[in-house]
Amino acid sequence: MTLLSLKASKSPTAKLLLGLIGSIILLAGWHLSAVLGIYGNGLPTVTATFAQLGQLLTTSSFWQDVGMTIGIALLGLAISLVIGVTLGVLIGSFEPVRAATFAITEFLKPIPPIVVLPLAVMIWGPTSTTALFLVLVGCVLAISIQTIAGVLDADPVAQATARSYGLGRLETLFNVTLPGALPFIGTAVRVSAPASLIVVVVAGLIGGAPGLGRSLYQAQASGDYPLVYALVVVLGVLGLSSQWLSEFVESKVLAWHPSFRKETH
Q: Tell me what pLDDT residue 68 has.
A: 95
Residue 97 and residue 91 in contact, taking contact as beta carbons nearer than 8 Å: yes
Query: CA 222, CA 218: separation in Å to the nearest integer?
Result: 6
Instruction: Sort 89 into a burial class: Cβ within 10 Å, 0-12 / 13-18 / 19+.
Output: buried
Rounded to an integer, what distance in angstroms lies between the CA atom of residue 73 and that of residue 80?
10
13 within a domain of the structure (yes/no): no
We report the CATH number of the domain holding residue 220 as 1.10.3720.10
Is residue 227 packed enough to be buried (19+ CB in 10 Å), middle (13-18) or exposed (0-12)? buried
Q: Which pLDDT score, from 0 to 100, does residue 79 have?
A: 97
pLDDT of residue 1: 44
Q: How many domains does the chain divide into? A: 1
Residue 159 lies in a domain: yes
Q: Is residue 24 part of a domain?
A: no
Kindly state whether residue 21 falls inside one of the protein's structural domains.
no
Q: Is 10 exposed, middle or buried (0-12, 13-18, 19+ CB in 10 A)?
A: exposed
* pLDDT above 70: percentage of residues in the chain: 92
Q: What is the pLDDT of residue 6?
A: 44
What kind and span of H or E run contains 76? helix 60-93
pLDDT per residue over 66-80, tens digit each? 999 999 999 999 999
Q: Is residue 113 part of a domain?
A: yes
- pTM for the full predicted model: 0.84
Burial of 73 (0-12, 13-18, 19+ CB in 10 A): buried
What span, in angstroms and rounded, lies between the C-alpha atoms of 165 and 147?
25
pLDDT digits over 97-127, tens only?
Answer: 888 888 888 888 888 888 899 899 999 999 9
Phi and psi angles of residue 41, each rounded to the nearest 5 degrees, phi first: -80, -5
Domain residues for 159?
67-264
| Helix/strand/coil for 103 | helix
Q: Is residue 143, in this structure, part of any structural domain at all?
A: yes
Domain contains 134:
yes
Phi, psi of 168 (to 5 degrees): -80, 180
Distance (Å, whole) CA 84 – CA 136: 9
User: Is 133's pLDDT higher than 60?
Assistant: yes
CB distance 259 to 183 below 8 Å: yes
pLDDT at 257: 65
DSSP-assigned states of every residue in 126-164: SSHHHHHHHHHHHHHHHHHHHHHHHHHTS-HHHHHHHHH
pLDDT on residue 263: 53
Tell me the pLDDT tens digit for each residue of 40-65: 888 899 999 999 999 999 999 999 99
Q: What are the DSSP E strand ranges found in 82-136?
A: none
Residue 5 lies in a domain: no
What pLDDT digit, counting tens, does each position of 180-202 carry? 888 899 889 989 999 999 999 99
